[in-house]
Amino acid sequence: MQPNVYIYILVMASVTYLIRVLPLALIRREIKSPFIRSFLHYVPYVTLAVMTVPGVILDTGTCLSGVLGLGTAVYLAWKGKSLIQVAGWMCAVVYIAELILL
Amino acid sequence: MDSKKWYVQGLRDGVPIFLGYLAVAFTVGIFARNAGLTSLQASLMSFLNNTSAGQFVAIGLIASSSGYLELAAVQLVVNLRYLLMSCSLSQKIQPKAPFFHRLLLGYNVTDEVFALLSAVDGYLNPAYTYGLSTMSIPGWTLGTFLGCTIGGILSERLLSAMGVALYGMFISVIVPPAKKDRRLLAAIAVSMAISAGFPLLPGLKNIPQGFKIIILAVLISALFAAIYPVPKGEGEEGESAA
């Protein structure tokens, strides 16, 4: 039997939804354990940080353009610039760097 | 703030997500068309999944007619980080809030939505999450449709530059709180250094990216929780109910 694209889509959507919804549906009380509370406090920052560096390097044309863009973003965020400014300047720096480097 | 204001705030904060998704989903759409999917199939996939890495991998598997079970297993690995994010978000919904909010929020836990939800102090107002979803889901689906239908119109260089907007969003979420809190600053610096060096270690190159993220996130968060526990009531997981 030839595999059906719509069944593929349903299979992947079901798996992905279950991964996302189960913790929300099952963990409904406030967690008391200080260790787990601390752990979950760090999770957002650590998860986003470990995704950013490899992502920026892999998703850009050259490693250097990614690093320059990342440096710009960290500097502007540190200076308290808004989300749109940080993201916009990061894109601009990557674009200009790749125009020069590639 | 009442729910209406939270919803509008969600729409406003969702604008960068909408634009970033439009660009990234555009590349998903191009990839899908090259793999032989119709624009209806590609758009439906985006509407039902809202995941970039998961969809890229899935399109590759579909193109090679892999088994359904294999597709399910790969999705589990690539998307496992959402499990961790949802655990964290489970503590940001008021325990007494109606249950269906949890079912709806679960539909749209993406990296970018998670980043913005984590930046909110105290408990979340569900209306805020719906405001974000109102921007992000159409951005993702529309971008995929456009990529699939008019794929060649944007230059690859422009797409590559636009794609990093989402990482800029991560940075603007994690950096400002770290300015005030040395523990967070240390956690972020360690995470970035280790994730940059991780691929260089021998034997670790072949671990799927989804696994790498969750392994590093769990280990580093647990390490910091053990060394620098956050006292109850301190930090942003505060008691200030929305």
Q: Using one digit for the tens of pLDDT, what is the confidence trace for A55-93?
A: 888 777 788 888 999 999 999 999 998 877 888 899 899
Three-state helix/strand/coil letters over chain B: CCHHHHHHHHHHHHHHHHHHHHHHHHHHHHHHHHCCCCHHHHHHHHHHHCCHHHHHHHHHHHHCCCCHHHHHHHHHHHCCHHHHHHHHHHCCCCCCCCCHHHHHHHHHCCHHHHHHHHCCCCCCCHHHHHHHHHHHHHHHHHHHHHHHHHHHHCCHHHHHHHHCHHHHHHHHHHHHHHHHCHHHHHHHHHHHHHHHHHHHCCCCCCCCHHHHHHHHHHHHHHHHHHHCCCCCCCCCCCCCCC
Contact check, Cβ <8 Å, A23/B178: no
Domain count, chain A: 1
Q: How far is CA B39 from the centre of its chain?
A: 24
Q: Is residue B113 situated within a structural domain?
A: yes
The pLDDT value given to residue B197:
83
Q: How many other CB atoms are there within 10 angstroms of residue A70's CB atom?
A: 24
Nearest residue of chain A to residue B106 (CA atoms): A21
Domain count, chain B: 1
Range list of H helices, chain A = 5-26, 34-59, 63-78, 83-101
| B164 → closest Cβ in A2, A56, A102 | A56
pLDDT tens by residue, B27-82: 889 889 888 999 999 999 999 999 887 898 888 889 888 889 988 988 888 888 89
pLDDT tens by residue, B111-136: 889 989 988 988 999 999 999 999 99
The pLDDT value given to residue B242:
33
| A16 → closest Cβ in B49, B162, B168 | B49
Q: How many other CB atoms are there within 10 angstroms of residue B68's CB atom?
A: 15
The residue whose two tokens read 């989903």 is: B25
More confident residue, B217 or A3: B217
Nearest residue of chain A to residue B197 (CA atoms): A54
Min CA distance, A14 vs chain B (Å)? 9
Kindly report the pTM of this predicted structure.
0.79
Min CA distance, A53 vs chain B (Å)? 6
**Amino acid symbol at A73:** A
More confident residue, B160 or A36: A36
The pLDDT value given to residue B22:
86
Query: Which chain A residues contact residue B163 at CB under 8 A?
Result: 59-60
Min CA distance, A68 vs chain B (Å)? 12
Whether the predicted pLDDT of B18 surpasses 80:
yes
B225: tokens are 């929780």
Burial class (CB in 10 A: 0-12, 13-18, 19+), A96: middle
Q: Are the C-beta atoms of A80 and A98 separated by less than 8 Å? A: no
What b-and-e string marks burial along B37-61, b requiring 16 or more CB atoms within 10 Å of the CB? bebebbbbbbbbbbbbbbbebbbeb
Mean pLDDT of chain B, nearest integer? 86
| A78 → closest Cβ in B85, B175, B229 | B175
Contact check, Cβ <8 Å, B191/A50: yes
A40: tokens are 């979950």
Contact check, Cβ <8 Å, A21/B107: yes
The residue whose two tokens read 């595999």 is: A3
More confident residue, A44 or A46: A46
Contact check, Cβ <8 Å, B217/A50: yes
Whether the predicted pLDDT of B189 surpasses 90:
yes
Whether the predicted pLDDT of B235 surpasses 60:
no
When mean pLDDT is compared over A11-25, B57-71, B153-167, the highest value belongs to A11-25
Residue range of the domain that includes A29: 5-101
The pLDDT value given to residue B80:
86
Contact check, Cβ <8 Å, B111/A42: no
Closest by Cα among B139, B122, B134, B98 to B233: B122
When mean pLDDT is compared over A13-22, A29-38, B145-154, B226-235, the highest value belongs to A13-22
Let me know the angle formed at the C-alpha of B20 by A73 and B24, rounded to the nearest 5 degrees. Answer: 115
The pLDDT value given to residue B173:
83
| B84 → closest Cβ in A14, A16, A47 | A47
pLDDT tens by residue, B194-230: 988 876 776 666 777 667 878 888 899 999 999 999 8
Min CA distance, A48 vs chain B (Å)? 6
Residue range of the domain that includes B107: 3-166
The residue whose two tokens read 């961790």 is: B84
The pLDDT value given to residue A1:
55
Whether the predicted pLDDT of B23 surpasses 70:
yes
Q: How far is Cα B77 from Cα B110, in angstroms, rounded to an integer?
A: 15
Let me know the angle formed at the C-alpha of A25 by A24 and A28, rounded to the nearest 5 degrees. Answer: 80
Contact check, Cβ <8 Å, A20/B82: yes
Average pLDDT over residues A22-36: 89
